Copies of this chain bind each other. A is one copy, B any other.
Amino acid sequence: MAASSISPRRLANKAGRAAARELGPQAPADARRRSVLDAARTAFFELGMDKTSMREIAQRAGYTVGALYSYFASKEEVYGALLAESLERLNDSVERAAAGRRSEAERVQRAATAFFDFYRENPRDLDLGFYLFQGMKPRGLTPQLNEQLNARLRAALQPTQDALQALGLPSKLALAEVTALFAHTVGLLVLSHTGRIRMFKQGSRELFDAYLGQLLSRATGGQEA
């Protein structure tokens, strides 16, 4: 306990921030913001919403609590950024799935399933969405951010909608179908995530496939699926 020694805690912190700095001297703030976000995501995925405090995030990021407020104005802003990131991953996943030369029917099936699977495999992203889209006022979810997030959410459904239109559905109907599909997807995910679907002894994946089959049947007038 000599006065000149450095506590292990401190060392860990310094090590923890190394990655952020190694990304280069330009835009170091962005990189550090990232590292905070990474810590937040990890914490949130491990501990869930309630138990993820600013302290916890700071600790994992290798910062002190106060430092977080250099990058984010509030806890909710952190979650806002987290959700933005999550939606980016969602879009990547959907785009990757729908890419390539395929029939439009297959494109519908692949895009929609990618959306479903993304949340089925990452239920914490679902939590994230609900948390922010539900209750959050003070500072975090500004109208601008809200608009932006909505746009990214819509974007993730766009490939499906486009493919439905390409299959011959009029745009109004395509929109209605994609909205219904979105709802069905969310419903299945929520029920699955809260364990309610087990009580019906059903599997969420099978139900999703069935719904998708019916949708495609409607869209192709019974010619395809």
List A residues at the B interface (Cβ < 8 Å): 3, 26-27, 48, 50, 130, 133-135, 150, 153-154, 175-176, 178-180, 182-188, 190-191, 193-197, 199-202, 204, 207, 210-211, 214, 218
Contacts and interface: CB of A to CB of B under 8 A. Distances in A.
Contacts of A193: 134
A146 to B, nearest CB: 9
The main secondary structure of chain A at its interface with chain B is helix
B175 A200 contact: yes
A207 B26 contact: no
B188 A183 contact: yes
B3 A180 contact: no
A182 B194 contact: no
20 contacts: A48-B135, A130-B190, A133-B196, A134-B193, A134-B194, A150-B196, A154-B199, A175-B202, A178-B200, A180-B210, A182-B187, A182-B200, A183-B188, A183-B190, A183-B197, A184-B184, A185-B187, A186-B187, A186-B191, A187-B188
